[in-house]
Structure 1
Amino acid sequence: MLQLKKGLRLECLRQPFRQALQTAAQIGADAIEVNGRTEIKPRDMTRTAVRHLRKMLADYRLKISAVNFPTRAGYGSLDLLEQKIEGTKAAMTMAYELGCNVVVNDVGAIPDDRESPTWQTMTEALADIGFHGQRCGAWLAAKTSPNSGDGSRLKELIDFLPVQSLFVDFDPASFVLAEQSATGAMEILAEHVVNFRARDAVRDFSLGRGVEVELGRGSIDWAALLGTLEQKNYAGYITIDRDAESDPVSQCAQGLEYLSNLFE
């Protein structure tokens, strides 16, 4: 049976770090997703800093569900590629030291042509990162985005790489916003999902585009998605990710409550 482990992307609260930790605990989160470039940085996480942060988390009865490590471009771009690779590895090591085994990032546009230089650059970089993951105990998960298409291209990339080089951070709203089926994409990617992002969206025909909405008010079929995860014995977190323009704390609390109601 699928167990509810409630995560929250800490930046959604729009509060200073320590205050956000307290708020996350108060509104019912079990874990938090932190930004590894703005909230905590690998170069700053000395052994003392790691112990201090783990103590703070324990005081609030929180864990870290994932470390978000966004880069300016994906791993198929040669622009500052070595820095991106080394930065990702450092974030993975930091995540493991903090008791977390998932680092998420958008890997970039996945080329259709396996003979293209971009494909070669991307697969070599991700294989290198994957080998580091096997050594350090944390893994890179590709954030689903418009670059993911219907999910099949990302699946092809994962299958091409050495086993356990790359996993999936699944955001159902990203497929709605790209006019794709979140349910169909889940069926393609489910066995590789290590982080599930609870974000909702709907197509707004008057605007001619997709828009993010409160959890439960969009077109996501949550029962189908969670059912597929259950079939695959998913054991990760379900993380609230809500970019609310106003009253972000209430919006996040509402999302956590909605998740709890889904599992009643």
Structure 2
Amino acid sequence: MSSIYKHKIGVIVDSFRLGVKEGLIKSKEVGADGVQIYAVQGEMDPDNLSTAQRKEWKDFIGSLGLEISALVGDLGGHGFQDAAANAAKVEKSKRILDLAVELGTNVVTTHIGIVPEDENSAIYAAMHKACDELSSYATSMGAYFAIETGPERSAHLKHFLDQLSSNGLSVNFDPANMVMVTGDDPVEGVYNLRDYIVHTHAKDGIQLRPVEARDVYGMLGYDKNEGMSHETMALLAEQGEAFREVPLGEGAVDWPAYLAALTDIGYKGYLTIEREVGTNPSEDISKAVQFLKKLQGQ
């Protein structure tokens, strides 16, 4: 096995459930190098931030010695499957990317919805059109919208990305989503998506029984809901009968092999810890930081 590159370690601030400012302080305390922040609603929504406030946040984060690895721009629902809703979602996504660049990062992670198998379907066409517009906009900014892995197998996601006009739509690689939902192999996924990985989530999990991706993420026309809420997905990951999110190193992700694969493809971005379940996220995240540092010989 090749030696493992010493990646910087990030933390999703919102995982602490303390609010942004306290979460940033806590991120520094647990030894993170950088942070990822939700920018969809609340105090970090670009619609709620003046130019002065943006500078204040950037300066505060810098004063802690932290970088921003990415912003989270997941707008929920069915991603970009609904053509009627896409114009507003695309515009909102662009404003989140503008904020990201202003704060010093060029990555916004998001979910686009399950990519259908049928390339002739209306849903596939709607997703392709919206994603191509986002991809072009990101490329014009020297930035990326990074799709989180999990709803479909990596080879199928690669095929969809290959059809876009630029790589402005790339990948936020989450190995836990793959093992929990599709049963995909994260190492194989790294090699399949090697040209697109710009950010990763450090999360672990196990699959308890085969699960239909549409039952987890929702699908336009498949269910009566507007897609699975983030909170509902977290509840499934904690209490569900199909899969469980578990602390790093306790699940089905082969971390040494996975990190070696990232090294092999030349990935030098962040490993950003996401902890969506558990009663003591601060302790879990602190242990996860130490787990990754030890694994990387830090």
Q: TM-score, normalised by structure 1?
A: 0.94
Contact 1:140 1:165 in 2 (8 A): yes
Equivalent residue number for residue 244 of structure 2: 211
1:208 deviates by: 5.3
Distance 1:243 1:112 in 2: 29
1:130 deviates by: 1.3
Is 2:109 aligned against 1:138? no
Contact 2:9 2:273 in 1 (8 A): yes
Q: CA RMSD in A?
A: 1.5
Distance 1:165 1:34 in 2: 20
Of 180, 185, 192, 2:189 maps to 185
Larger mean Cα displacement after TM superposition, 215-224 or 39-48: 39-48
Deviation track 1:132-170 (CA, whole Å, cap 9, x = no partner) reads: 11222321011112x22x211110111000121310011
Equivalent residue number for residue 25 of structure 2: 22
Q: Which amino acid aligns with 1:69?
A: G
Is 2:80 aligned against 1:47? no
Equivalent residue number for residue 85 of structure 1: 90
1:186 deviates by: 2.0
Secondary structure at the residue paired with 2:193? helix
Contact 2:136 2:166 in 1 (8 A): no
Q: Which amino acid aligns with 2:18?
A: Q
Equivalent residue number for residue 261 of structure 2: 228
Residues paired across the two proteins, number: 261
Of 33, 37, 62, 2:40 maps to 37
Q: How does 1:45-84 map to 2 (within 5 A)?
A: 45-71=49-75, 72-84=77-89
Moved over 6 A (4+): none
Of 157, 161, 179, 1:158 maps to 161
Of 5, 10, 13, 2:8 maps to 5
Contact 2:206 2:243 in 1 (8 A): yes
Structure 1: any 5+ residue segments left out of the alignment?
none
Structure 2: any 5+ residue segments left out of the alignment?
210-239
Contact 1:158 1:165 in 2 (8 A): no
Of 92, 115, 128, 1:123 maps to 128
Secondary structure at the residue paired with 1:190? coil
